[in-house]
Structure 1
Amino acid sequence: MTRAVPTSADVARLAGVSRATVSYVLNNTNAVRISEPTRRRVHEAAKELGYVPHAAARSLRAGHSRMVLMPTPAVSVGPLYNRFLSELQWSLSRLDYTVVQYGRVGLTGEEAARAWAELRPVAVLAPGAHDLGPQGVALLKRSGARAVITFGPYQVDGAHALLMDQRSVGRAAGAHLLARGRRRIGVIIPQEPGLEAFSRPRADGVRESAEGTGAQVVEVALPYDEGAAARLAARWRSLGLDGVFAYNDEYAMLLMRALQDEGIAVPDGTGMVGADDLMLGRLLRPRLSTVRVELPSGQELAELVDRMVSDPSAEPPARQLLGAELVERESG
């Protein structure tokens, strides 16, 4: 026979308390003082019965959900950003938010906003790749979202903006290569779809650092593929490059191995800089010079989200997230 779904009334009877007390304990309400022994009895009763609070009912009582929606990135964002996003999710859960990753890729603008709004999140953290415009922000807010936060290079009207200017990464790499005497600098442009939001601004940053120096900056296309790297290395000498910013550490490792297999020394033949400061870059020989990308802690941003949810009428701020620091090792 199918067992009946346990209710809060069942928990209350087993724990010997009122249903209101069960609600206060299981919803972490601080407005009412409840002793630790009572809290333990409620939690033990809920565990014994297999009772789980109903999220939709809790949302109706509160007037909003505790769901923070984070659309899944459409492209691989690499270990650095994955760690940052994981820490942010963990920190939000500690503040009693339920973080939901929305997995449908390919949605942009109002189409994406409409799909997200169906879930009635209290906040949306949207990567810039979704191109969420003012209409999409307004739609989400009409549907109950108290905070819409965008990650990207520019601010969207009505949204809180966490600005990520990738040009600073390219500027740091370019300035270092120029200081080391490099005058014809290659910039690796990944060919994987969706990475343009990162690679193009980084290339622009290298060009900005070279302005007025007489140095040349050359874009070099490279898919993330060993065969493609080997073919590029085979014609590397014809490009006449004495330095290269390899987009990130993973592409730098791929290219360095291919150049070494072709008999081109790093840094004597070509100075090389990556980005993200991955552990593997320190294990290479020569050790990889890189740009350390500095992001705020996930806890700091989770607390920012919580403040915005608590006061949705506050003026949407814009905040610069990225810092970039050159870490000099042996390859540059």
Structure 2
Amino acid sequence: MSQNSTRRVTSADVARLAGVSRATVSYVLNDTPKQTISAGTRTRVLDAATRLGYAPSAAARTLRTGRSDVVLCLLPDWPIGPELGSTLNNLSTALARQGLTFVVHPGNREDRPIGEIWKAITPAAVIAWSDFSPAEIAAMRSAGVALVVALLGHGGEHERESTVPQDLIGRRQAEHLVSTGHSRLGYAYPDDERLRIFADPRLAGVRQTCRRSRVGGPATETVALDPGSAAAAVRRWQAAGVTGVCAYNDEVALAVLSGVRRLGLHAPGDLAVIGVDDIPPARLAVPPLTTVTTDQAAVAEFLTATVVAAIAGRPAPPAPSADLVSLVRRDSA
């Protein structure tokens, strides 16, 4: 066969090169049990498949097994930062261990309707961060999608909520500041509207802690990733008597720290700052950034177990505990 050919290699090509039937190729490559195939024949088939670069198509596997092995992840129009990248990497690894293929589709529903995406891929499960409409859920169920997960959804009848409630992250931040003596808190909100799906519940968690602990705030300021914007926010926080700030994430927290330095102030003496995510630059900040982190590997294992259980028709595993979210104590708060 010409190396310049663009035709897809098929099991028939492997069978011809190995000198066996297509059925034998199928038995060997799928490791079909209860087949008496000699070691020599098995080796010839595997060598032929390797030489030709043959891999069974996803569609063929679906027809053979009665189910897809693809898990489709729909990403909204978000910036993909270190934390989201870690989530996707961990999930891909955990799913691969179960023989499942992880496919990520970035973008938004205005770019291409959800139906066009999952119909083209025929996945076993669909994971997204935002809610699906009842019509979307019904269509996916009718097509045999075993599991529909809206990680930051509202938990309707056919969907499941995130394993880590975002308000818990905000509570962890505020609880730390309250425990270290701060009596009026601020919140550094991101200036990217696309992040509201995370920022609003985190801010709600900070508010809950302020009410429960009877401390002032949170005085909320939108902080761009810019020292000047951050310095202006720090001035307003100081005028309002704020002594500790919960930032939406580590990047926003680093901006706040730069604003503190620009004004000739110091953290945590003049203003304590705590972030979220524990990105690598957090430990290089001046001072090193106190932050809240989530065990993304454990989240990925739970989501994978949920997908596998749904495909097999078994009950979902119990959700992991709130211990997934923990404090990383450094010098900024």
Q: Give the TM interval when normalised to the shorter protein.
A: 0.7 to 0.9
CA contact (8 A) 1:121 1:145 kept: yes
CA contact (8 A) 1:189 1:247 kept: yes
Q: Alignment RMSD, CA only?
A: 2.8
Quote the offset at 1:185 in angstroms: 0.6
Closer, same or farther in 2 for the Cα pair 1:189/1:37, shift >3 Å? farther
Q: Superposition pairs for residues 1-332 of structure 1, below 5 Å? A: 3=5, 5-30=8-33, 32=35, 38-76=41-79, 78-107=81-110, 111-113=113-115, 115-127=117-129, 129=130, 131-152=131-152, 154-217=154-217, 218-233=219-234, 235-295=236-296, 296=298, 298-311=300-313, 314=314, 319=319, 323-332=324-333
Quote the offset at 1:219 in angstroms: 1.1
What is the CA–CA distance in structure 1 between the aligned matches of 2:43 and 2:214, rounded to whole Å? 72
Letter in 2 for 1:136: E
CA contact (8 A) 2:309 2:315 kept: no
Closer, same or farther in 2 for the Cα pair 1:28/1:317, shift >3 Å? same
Quote the offset at 1:215 in angstroms: 1.5
Quote the offset at 1:252 in angstroms: 0.9
Quote the offset at 1:103 in angstroms: 3.1
Q: CA offsets, 1:19-65, max 9 Å, x none?
A: 22211333354564756654443222022234332332332233332
Specify which structure has the bigger relative contact order, considering alpha-carbon pairs within 8 angstroms and separated by 6 or more residues: 1
Closer, same or farther in 2 for the Cα pair 1:54/1:210, shift >3 Å? closer
CA contact (8 A) 2:227 2:258 kept: no
State the percentage of identical aligned residues.
34
What is the CA–CA distance in structure 1 between the aligned matches of 2:206 and 2:138, rounded to whole Å? 36
Closer, same or farther in 2 for the Cα pair 1:43/1:225, shift >3 Å? farther
Quote the offset at 1:267 in angstroms: 0.6
Closer, same or farther in 2 for the Cα pair 1:231/1:37, shift >3 Å? farther
CA contact (8 A) 2:163 2:299 kept: no
**What secondary structure is seen at the aligned counterpart in 1 of 2:104?**
strand
Letter in 2 for 1:51: Y
What is the CA–CA distance in structure 2 between the aligned matches of 1:205 and 1:16, rounded to whole Å? 66
**What secondary structure is seen at the aligned counterpart in 2 of 1:132?**
coil
What is the CA–CA distance in structure 2 between the aligned matches of 1:290 and 1:35, rounded to whole Å? 59
CA contact (8 A) 1:147 1:160 kept: no
What is the CA–CA distance in structure 2 between the aligned matches of 1:69 and 1:184, rounded to whole Å? 44
CA contact (8 A) 2:147 2:311 kept: yes
- More displaced 10-residue stretch of structure 1: 169-178 or 226-235: 226-235
What is the CA–CA distance in structure 2 between the aligned matches of 1:230 and 1:265, rounded to whole Å? 12
CA contact (8 A) 1:134 1:157 kept: no
What is the CA–CA distance in structure 1 between the aligned matches of 2:110 and 2:52, rounded to whole Å? 41
- How many residues matched? 327
Q: CA offsets, 1:98-136, max 9 Å, x none?
A: 32222341349x953464234321211121x2x213332
Quote the offset at 1:154 in angstroms: 3.1
What is the CA–CA distance in structure 1 between the aligned matches of 2:78 and 2:8, rounded to whole Å? 41
What is the CA–CA distance in structure 2 between the aligned matches of 1:321 and 1:146, rounded to whole Å? 25
Unpaired segments ≥5 residues, structure 2: none
What is the CA–CA distance in structure 2 between the aligned matches of 1:21 and 1:188, rounded to whole Å? 63
What is the CA–CA distance in structure 2 between the aligned matches of 1:258 and 1:236, rounded to whole Å? 12
Quote the offset at 1:227 in angstroms: 4.0
Closer, same or farther in 2 for the Cα pair 1:280/1:39, shift >3 Å? farther
Unpaired segments ≥5 residues, structure 1: none
CA contact (8 A) 2:150 2:162 kept: yes
What is the CA–CA distance in structure 1 between the aligned matches of 2:10 and 2:178, rounded to whole Å? 68
